[in-house]
Amino acid sequence: MEYRAYWAMKQLNMDLNAAGEKRRRVFEVGQQVLLYNSRLKLFPGKLRSRWSGPYTVTKVLPYGAIQVSNENKGTFTVNGQRLKHYWGGDFSKQKSTVQLETPE
């Protein structure tokens, strides 16, 4: 089984080291990030997103700890595995309604 998996990866020209480098998240001061919150009590809905933010990285500490800040929640330190890069821009947090019409 291991031989077949190695053969398949070799056939597809997959480099494990390059794939690992792409998966690694590197954070820098000033970047926008989203924070994963695993506490289900804070999110009552099943379909509600568990990612909150965006937060700004203020300091990168050793051993994967990242200090983040938010203008409403202040500054705190979290594990870097609970963060992901935020690529979006500003968005409206107000709900919008779209009226659907029946086709004729």
What domains does the chain contain, in order, with CATH numbers?
27-85 (2.30.30.140)
CB contact at 8 A, 61 and 42: no
Q: 82 falls in which pLDDT band (50, 70, 90)?
A: very high
pLDDT of residue 102 exceeding 70 = yes
**Which pLDDT belongs to residue 56?**
94
Residues forming a β-bridge with 52: 35
pLDDT of residue 91 exceeding 90 = no
Q: Cα 11 to chain center, whole Å?
A: 31
Residues 6+ apart with CB under 8 A from 81: 64
Average pLDDT of 26-54? 80
Picking from 67, 39, 65, the residue whose alpha carbon sits closest to that of residue 52 is 39
pLDDT of residue 87 exceeding 70 = yes
Helix/strand/coil for 59: strand
Average pLDDT of 23-38? 88
pLDDT: is 35 or 7 the higher one?
Answer: 35
